Amino acid sequence: MSWTRKHLLDIQSLSAAEIETVLDTARSFKAVGERAIKKVPALRGKTVVNLFIEPSTRTRISFELAAHRLSADVINFSAEASSLRKGETLKDTSRTLEALNADIIIVRHSATGAPHFLSRFLAASVINAGDGAHEHPTQALLDVFTIRECKGKIAGLNVTILGDILYSRVARSGIWALTKLGARVTLCGPSTLVPKVFEKLGCRVVHDVEEAVREADIINLLRIQHERQRRTMFPSIGEYTSLFGLNKARMAKTRPDVLIMHPGPINRGVEIDSSLADGPQSVILNQVTNGLAVRMAVLFLVNGGSEASLAQ
């Protein structure tokens, strides 16, 4: 067991042993989720706040359910209905939540570093649920959990991340997690969205989709992050789909046991053919299911939970 952190702010600063501790803890919580009674008292009496200043379906709902499963009290903060609309700062809002005895604050924000900023002055634990184009640590953890569950290992696997890498926090966290655990990572997409500078993170960068997917054990697709792009990065969606979309013809040239992943939300018919998203090699909904166990593990660990207390 290797975890002494109060916050989960990124994957970049985690060791492989810390990542493996989260994965092993999540495996125990997945087993809890398969019991008739799916609730444990690990966070009884604790208050968890979902402070989402950007839209979310999967992350917010799975953190909420994870906190409920751990018996915490949960507050869902709606930015639209809050005093942020009246000019209150993120610092004052989060201090207000802490004054109401929040123990764990889960934050999603469009600004890179927002969770790190909060962690500098809050006594509560802070969990990064996505900050700008920087990191989305729990997405990377649930992705590597799903890969390990399906393939039995991470080290030595060929993982291709295909799509808008430049604006993707999922890609950055994924690259850190996969390379720390010994996977070989290939990045592919238009050169404007997948610049060669990513090779400095220990990845292979290619701009030919068929080359990128040919030897892949995993293809992780990313949508175009229109909300973060400051200018048009390619001529048209139609051209993107024809050059980089995963379709049946391209799929026919991959390994027979390749797995298809996507963090969601999916833009069907753009980065992936709809039938492939729903096909037998897709583990997209397994990722969602595993996100619950992984987020239970993260809440448990930042609250000081240990293997010994989990066994009780």
Positions touching ligand CP (CB under 6 A) are 56-59, 130, 136, 139, 263-265
Q: How far is the CB of 59 from ligand CP (least distance, A)?
A: 3
Nearer to ligand CP, 184 or 223 (CB): 223
DSSP 8-state symbol, 177 = H
CB of 256 to ligand CP, least distance (A): 27
Which residues have C-beta within 8 Å of that of residue 152, sequence separation ≥ 6? Answer: none
Counting Cα atoms < 13 Å in the Cβ hemisphere of 255 gives 15
Quote the crossing angle between the two packed helices 137-151 and 284-302, to the nearest 10°: 120
Q: How far is the CB of 60 from ligand CP (least distance, A)?
A: 6
Smallest gap from Cβ 129 to ligand CP, in A, equals: 7
Pick the closer one to ligand CP by CB: 115 or 130: 130
**What are the b/e assignments for 156-170, b being 16+ CB within 10 Å?**
ebbbbbbbbbbbbbb
CA distances from 277 to 138, 171, 251, 271, 293 (A): 22, 19, 12, 10, 23
Q: Which is nearer to ligand CP, 243 or 288 (CB)?
A: 288
CA–CA gap between residue 140 and residue 160 (Å, rounded): 14
Cα–Cα distances in Å, from 170 out to 110, 158, 201, 222, 308? Answer: 14, 17, 14, 8, 32
Nearer to ligand CP by Cβ, of 133 and 310: the residue is 133
**Shorter beta-carbon distance to ligand CP: residue 40 or 170:** 170
Minimum CB separation of residue 204 from ligand CP in Å reads 24
Sign of CA dihedral 129, 59, 175, 178: positive
Q: Give the shortest CB-130-to-ligand CP separation in angstroms.
A: 6
Peptide bond into 137 cis (omega under 30): no
Q: Which is nearer to ligand CP, 148 or 295 (CB)?
A: 295
